[in-house]
Amino acid sequence: MTLDRMWGRLPPGVSLRTPGALVATWFGSGLLVPGPGTWGSLATLPLGILILLYTDHWVLLAVAVLTFVVGTWQTQRLIDAFPDDAPKDNSSIVVDETVGQLIALIPAAASPLLWLAAFVLFRLFDIWKPGPVRFLERRLKGVWGIMMDDVVAGIMAAVCVYGLALLELTDV
């Protein structure tokens, strides 16, 4: 039995060999249980950290925007492949967490403490869904609701990480 069929979260006829499923599940991390969103965020950290270490926050922002565009398109394609009665925000779709996690990492620079803060704060805001995060999740339908609540959770986490960076807590 293959990983993509083990938990039955991909639509019939779709496997991880399908580029859209590979992107939407962030290279299969969305198929891991428990907590596929957390696995998706964890799977994003190496990419974000490498970008921060070898380039700068502008490149990370560009990668987040590109991932948002491609992820939105591929998520819609995957949603369309599910049966009509399936939930539209399938837990295997974690590219939204990828985008939010990349955004949260933008102000983290080369600080492992801030990388950890970005991860924890993003997951907190994504799970807790305070104010605007819950509003967007409920108001926007389909792929836009799936993607935008995580973008806002990522922005909220990034603001907090930026505040921590200003406090210079990275020397602790």
Q: Please, are residues 4 and 27 in contact by the beta-carbon 8 Å criterion? A: no
**How many folded domains does the chain comprise?**
1
- Return d(Cα 14, Cα 154) in angstroms, integer: 29
CA-nearest of 124, 126, 104 to 115 is: 104
List, as own/partner pairs, every contact residues 73-79 make where C-beta atoms lie below 8 angstroms and the sequence separation is at least 24, other chains included: 74/19, 74/20, 74/21, 74/23, 74/24, 75/24, 75/143, 75/146, 75/147, 76/142, 76/143, 77/20, 77/24, 78/10, 78/11, 78/14, 78/20, 78/21, 78/24, 79/142, 79/143
pLDDT profile of the chain (172 residues), mean per 10: 53 88 96 95 98 97 98 94 78 96 96 96 96 92 94 98 84 47
Predicted local distance difference test score (pLDDT) of residue 6: 41
* Per-residue pLDDT, 169: 58
Q: How many CA atoms lie within 13 A of 95 on its CB side?
A: 30
Residue ranges making up the domain that contains 158: 3-171
